[in-house]
Structure 1
Amino acid sequence: MSYQHILYEVSDRIATITLNRPDRMNAWTATMERDVRQAMDAAANDDDVRVIVLTGAGRGFCAGADMEALQGIDPNEVRRGESIPFDMNRRADWQTRYAYYPAIKKPIIAMLNGATAGIGLVHALYCDLRFAADTAVFTTAFARRGLIAEHGISWMLPRIVGHANALDLLMSARRVSAAEALRIGLVNRLSTPDKLREETYAYARDLADFVSPSAIAVIKRQVYDVPFQTLAEATIDANREMQIALKGNDFREGVASFVEKRPPRFTGT
């Protein structure tokens, strides 16, 4: 498959999706939206992929929407995706225009190498983990452009940084340093720019090599389902999944590899 505004590669069971408009700080376009969706689907359906890394080329991750495209946007266009046919086997909340990352059964790591703003921040929040350069800067941006909290960020951001911090970041649209982002939980860890790739991929390879894909898929779904469940529902769901896991090949391999003191050979079944 050919892409125009991204790069896509698979190595060591890790798929890397790179936003590739470095001359425009990877400003978001309709073409990039299509490319990222197709690449995410490709990685999700590739049995040779166990982890997905989303990053940006050049100095930034994504500086937000392309301003030239934004100036000519049709107000009705923003509602595109509301009426897509839902897969009844997946929660509808994770099937809207941008909020589909949580429905992917594989871990998605945002490797934030620089400026992360607006729609770029939205995509970073929908990733499961965020590893950032200690020089990166973050902003919601919307309020300073006369816009509201877009594409579900008003739901997602408070669940990551808390209610008060979310209101601060959304209403002020101020620039947030990497150090503050780590302190409030916006990112999981920081690295120096020259170590970011090495440390991110070391973590990704650890997931790919030593963690059960079937366990990750269920754990990811459990965590994203929790906001819609009571404690009793979450517990009953966990008990049901535990019964299935105990009959699976990955459970038997996990125990055997531990007892035999060798690396596991998980198959995801």
Structure 2
Amino acid sequence: MYTQIELSRTGASGRVAVITLNRPDKLNALTKVMEAELRRAMEEVDGDDAVRVVVLTGAGRGFCAGMDIDELEILPPGDIRAAQWMRPFDMNRRPDYQTRYGYFPAVRKPVICAINGAAAGLGLVFALYSDIRFASDRAAFSTAFAKRGLIAEHGIAWMLPRVVGPGHAADLLYSARKVSAAEALQMGLVNRLFEADSLMAETLRYADDLAENVSPRSIRVIKDQLWEVPFQDLAQATRTANEAMYESIQSEDFTEGVAHFVERRAARFTGR
């Protein structure tokens, strides 16, 4: 089904989907085929109610070294919002997210990026659009663009300052320098750092905990909130949260959340 990525299910109940970029001999540099397969895999796991968490990683010693230099293309400005990139992730979401590489926020499950090696250019873009970033101590990061005569493309100038702050963002984008995993952790570019041999085990342990012990309905709504808040003022964000809380209290997952706590047993959330 897939030729340049791998898709598998894992976890105690098979609720964690792992998408692996699979061109290890090229440090998983992006091609048109891989790009299309990644979107298709995201669509597949988003539509699978059995999947509650998505992990994105790379095969071999790299995460994603950016676009394959042999497939670089000159895109007209309007291409980024062309119809083929707007679907299938409409889902009544904010249209700002319906762009060529900015579709991760429209996936209804948390996307955890397990960065096992070099993440440069579009590889860094994928990491930034993920909800959570774990990294190997052998990982390295670079925006790459300025050293190729390019600019901060695909929304990275919007994303990066919100993750690391404007000063770090300017540094990384202007210099396009290589950033070590330790420095990435210090500036908040990644959330946790693990030894290379334990990265996937630790990431999957975390992902499985989310899949088994947390309400998927709660995560779905909270993910919406986190991505919407940058477009809202405090009053609007509060009103939206109050409405969502009212709906949550009437949900099956709220009933189960109280019940499993009182009864001191494992949760059996349905996502409804």
Same fold, judged at TM 0.5 (above): yes
Cα shift at 1:88: 6.9
Number of the residue aligned with 1:227: 230
Question: Is 1:81 aligned to 2:80, yes or no?
Answer: yes
Structure 2 partner of 1:54: 56
- AA matched with 1:221: D
Instruction: Letter of the 1:61 partner, please give it.
Output: F
**In the alignment, structure 1 residue 181 sits paired with structure 2 residue 184:** yes
Please give the secondary structure, in 2, of the residue aligned with 1:61.
Answer: strand
Q: Report the identity percentage.
A: 58
Partners in 2 of 1:166 and 1:60 — Cα distance? 23
Q: Whole-Å Cα distance in 2 between the matches of residues 198 and 74 of structure 1?
A: 40
* Cα distance in 2 between the residues matched to 1:130 and 1:96: 21
Give the secondary structure class of the aligned counterpart of 2:63: coil
Are positions 1:41 and 2:40 aligned together?
A: no
2:261 counterpart residue number? 258
For residue 80 of structure 2, what is the amino acid of its counterpart? Answer: G
Preserved CA contact (<8 Å) 2:81 2:98: no
1:18 Cα offset (Å): 0.3
In structure 2, the gaps of 5 or more residues are: none
Cα offsets for 1:46-76 (capped at 9, x unmatched): 0110000000000000011101112xx2343
Q: How big is the shift at 1:80?
A: 2.0
- SS, match of residue 114 in structure 2: strand
* Residue in structure 1 matched with residue 19 of structure 2 by the alignment: 17
Which amino acid in the other structure matches residue 62 of structure 2? Answer: G
Corresponding residue number in structure 1 for 2:3: 4
Cα RMSD, aligned residues only: 1.1
Match of 2:239 in 1: 236
- Residue 121 of structure 2 corresponds to which residue in structure 1? 118
TM-score, normalization by structure 2: 0.95
Provide the rounded CA distance (Å) in 2 between the counterparts of 1:58 and 1:88.
34
Secondary structure of 1:195's aligned partner: helix
Q: Aligned residue for 2:194?
A: 191
CA distance in 2, matches of 1:110, 1:96: 20
The Cα offsets for residues 139-192 of structure 1, whole Å up to 9 and x where unpaired, read as: 000000000001000000000000010000000000000010001100000000
Partner of 1:92: 95
Indicate the SS of the match to 2:163: helix
Partner of residue 157, structure 1: 160
Please tell me the residue identity of whatever aligns with 2:59: A
What is the TM-score normalised by the length of structure 1? 0.96
From 109, 117, 121, the counterpart of 1:106? 109
- The alpha-carbon distance between structure 1 residues 45 and 236, as it changes in their structure 2 partners (threshold 3 A), is same
Q: Distance in 2 between matches of 1:9 and 1:230?
A: 40
Is the partner of 1:47 in helix, strand or coil? coil
CA distance in 1, matches of 2:228, 2:100: 18
Distance 2:101 2:66 in 1: 14
Which of 127-136 and 3-12 deviates more?
Answer: 3-12
CA distance in 2, matches of 1:18, 1:165: 29
Question: How far, CA to CA, are the matches of 1:24 and 1:135 in structure 2?
Answer: 17
Letter in 2 for 1:13: R
Q: Which of 18, 28, 31 lines up with 1:29 in the alignment?
A: 31
Asked whether the 8 Å contact 2:5–2:19 carries over to 1, the reply is yes
| Superposed displacement of residue 83, structure 1 | 3.4
**In the aligned structure 1, how far is the partner of 2:153 from the partner of 2:82?**
17
The 1-side partners of 2:140 and 2:181 are apart by: 6
SS of residue paired to 2:67? coil
User: Contact 2:91/2:106 (CA < 8 Å) preserved in 1?
Assistant: no
Aligned residue for 2:108, secondary structure, equals coil
Question: How many Å separate the matches in 2 of 1:226 and 1:252?
Answer: 27
| 1:16-55, Cα deviation, whole Å (9 max, x unpaired) | 1000000000001111110000000000000110000000
- Measured after TM superposition, the shift of residue 79 of structure 1 is 4.0
